[in-house]
Structure 1
């Protein structure tokens, strides 16, 4: 049975929510706010290097829920696709070194007006990456994005599509990441969550509010929009997922707010709306 409210012990700060904080500032903020999990973005790791990033995480005692991101498989030339695959292998190595077994895949867009071929390239990229990831004990989490991101971020645009891709593999190799912002609109959502039972590798929360004026920074704090967050969370739990719940919000107003205030608001809204 799903609990009525999630425990704060499952709360994870997805680092993009406090984009203007360095990795050290984000980690220190979580420790201060008693947020036990964090999810890292690779551009923040690049700022200080992998070894220093690992030391900061290890010394803090925080648990790492995932690494964002791998993916971006489609490209016009074979050389570019190979570079992407090489970068994905580095991402796998980083995830393993940092101590998480989940690499989130934002699968990539259609670079040449050929969305059908781009989806093939995504499937080929995952197929080539799976043995390498498995050798490091890292699972690949396919995150479907809202269809409005097909042109610049991902041609995988529904949970059904992600499930179909993931089901080609063992659940210990490839799964899905359910992000409420990207899937809330789907009329088949709850059937697809049930279909993903045993294969859900992550759960992300934010909210959808209109008007959307910046597609990348379009998310809002939980409770400020229309998403049935609690219902989706309960469905994900009924499908067997009881892991960390990442608060992932790209929003300029939040980025401009002092990070400690953001974390305080996250905890308040997490209890109230998740």
Structure 2
């Protein structure tokens, strides 16, 4: 018998209401009594970092994470250096916003050499860790579903993410478990146990059948086939008691009124997560 998650852990990952500005998303969370928000960097940039910090601070919301850093691989050394510089800016933004974790979407290979690209991911994290540590920010490696390997990330299993994270202190680098990306993995529960106190984030949505779109095809919880409660129970059993972010890429959901999306999100969180 699974218990229901506490509403005190619910976080709106801002991409779920993508048509809202950060100001609108913050106001929507306050109206709905959602205590956490996970901003995206492009939304912060639209408003400006200082104003974003002020709006979130004044609202009383807490920041569960900042999306996103990463994208380390690039064809030239100069490009890789520029991406590392951007990751340092992302760390600074996370610190200013009060997030403990910067989510890393690690990036695709710029050519056909996927092994080399994974080496560049490792190198990028190596170089970013000291900077992030000095600013009190943890780096959360988020593995993406293998269908994203060519476009978004060469880190495609929780096992790969664990292997990378284990090269650093648990206070520096961990993993983000997003059910949409890992639910299919035969080693999922083994790797969740392996991750243990390195789990820095837990993201929920659902896998719709048939899958309507490669990128914009995530479903609201309960509309698909993912064993959401079983996965949540496992991350809790190994020690994760942090915020639970609802992160949904779906244009039909984006086109709905934001307050309607949040109302449904709260209901489905209680019913299915």
For structure 1, the 5+ residue unaligned runs are none
C-alpha contact 2:209 2:225 (8 A) present in aligned 1: no
- Secondary structure at the counterpart of residue 20 of structure 1: coil
Paired residue for 2:269?
270
Cα distance in 2 for partners of 1:101, 1:33 equals: 24
Paired residue for 2:221?
222
Q: What does residue range 173-192 of structure 1 map to in structure 2 within 5 Å?
A: 173-192=172-191
Out of 3-12 and 121-130, give the one that drifted further. 3-12
Paired residue for 1:153?
152
> How far off its partner does 1:242 sit?
0.2
Cα distance in 1 for partners of 2:73, 2:161 equals: 16
- Secondary structure at the counterpart of residue 197 of structure 1: helix
Paired residue for 1:12?
11
Paired residue for 2:98?
99
Q: Which whole-Å deviations, capped at 9, do the CAs of 1:176-213 have from their partners, x for residues lacking one?
A: 00000000000000000000011000000000012234
> How far off its partner does 1:214 sit?
2.3
TM-score (norm 1): 0.99
> How far off its partner does 1:48 sit?
1.1
| Superposed structure 1 runs of 4+ greater than 3 Å apart | none
> How far off its partner does 1:3 sit?
6.1
TM-score (norm 2): 0.99
Number of equivalent positions: 273
For structure 2, the 5+ residue unaligned runs are none
Cα distance in 2 for partners of 1:20, 1:113 equals: 35
Paired residue for 2:234?
235
> How far off its partner does 1:216 sit?
1.4
RMSD: 0.9
Out of 214-223 and 130-139, give the one that drifted further. 214-223
Paired residue for 2:22?
23
Q: What does residue range 1-80 of structure 1 map to in structure 2 within 5 Å?
A: 4-80=3-79
C-alpha contact 2:68 2:105 (8 A) present in aligned 1: yes
C-alpha contact 2:165 2:175 (8 A) present in aligned 1: yes
Cα distance in 1 for partners of 2:6, 2:136 equals: 28
Cα distance in 1 for partners of 2:4, 2:179 equals: 16
The question of 1:88 aligning with 2:82 is answered: no
- Secondary structure at the counterpart of residue 196 of structure 2: coil
Q: What does residue range 188-207 of structure 1 map to in structure 2 within 5 Å?
A: 188-207=187-206
Cα distance in 2 for partners of 1:213, 1:264 equals: 23
